[in-house]
Structure 1
Amino acid sequence: MSESIKQLDISIMGREFRVACPTDEEATLLQAVQLLDTRMHEIRAAGKVIGIEKIAIMTALNMTHEFLSTKVEGGFDIGRIQRKIDHMNSTIDAVLQEQTELF
């Protein structure tokens, strides 16, 4: 069953973008746009970073750091778990690559 894709016009820091999004993920994407726009405005308002590209990079760095250091109830470190999953995926990909070379 194929998902329907919708084109959305979004605004981040006053700049307009058109993005494709599965219809059932529209609400989540709009939340992400709002969060990103808010964080970028906060960094610009602090006055320490000038230029839209630098603001975007600093925002991405800050949000990525928050993501990697987030812990959920029960003490699960999401960032650590994600890094383990990434490492396992790399290991699996390497093993599968060796297998395809056998044939």
Structure 2
Amino acid sequence: MSSHAIDISLLGRTYSINCPKGQERALQHVAQKLEVQLNSLKTRTHNLSREEVAIMAALNTGYELLEEQQKNQDYNKQMDEKIGLLQSTIENALVERSIKED
């Protein structure tokens, strides 16, 4: 897959980032969300350096990702349990039906 560089701005600096063709909007959207988070952190924590603000944003994003992964795991577990219950119900119904037919 080919890629090309697009420019994004974060905390007043412009970065040229390689991006796969067709993913430009997604990268720009992520950059905009990151810019909002960085500016919010910078406003709340006046004495942090640019690097420290970036680290805080990375930690926040990592935590949000971890929470979403946990939600997905919980959801998958619930769906597996429901599927197992449905399979068991169907099997029991089929067994009962075959017993009645005999």
Q: TM-score range by the shorter chain?
A: 0.5 to 0.7
Over aligned residue pairs, what C-alpha RMSD do you find? 2.0
TM-score by length of 1: 0.64
Which of the two has greater helix per residue?
Answer: 2
Structure 1 gap segments, 5+ residues each: 78-103
Alpha-carbon distance in 1 for matches of 2:23, 2:47: 32
What's the counterpart of residue 76 of structure 1?
75
Alignment of 1:1-103 (within 5 A): 3-47=1-45, 50-70=48-68, 71=71, 75-76=74-75
Structure 2 gap segments, 5+ residues each: 77-102
TM-score by length of 2: 0.65
Count of residues in Structure 1 that have an aligned counterpart in Structure 2? 74
Is the CA contact (8 Å cut-off) linking 1:49 and 1:55 kept in structure 2?
Answer: no
Bigger Cα Rg:
2
Give percent identity, aligned residues only.
30
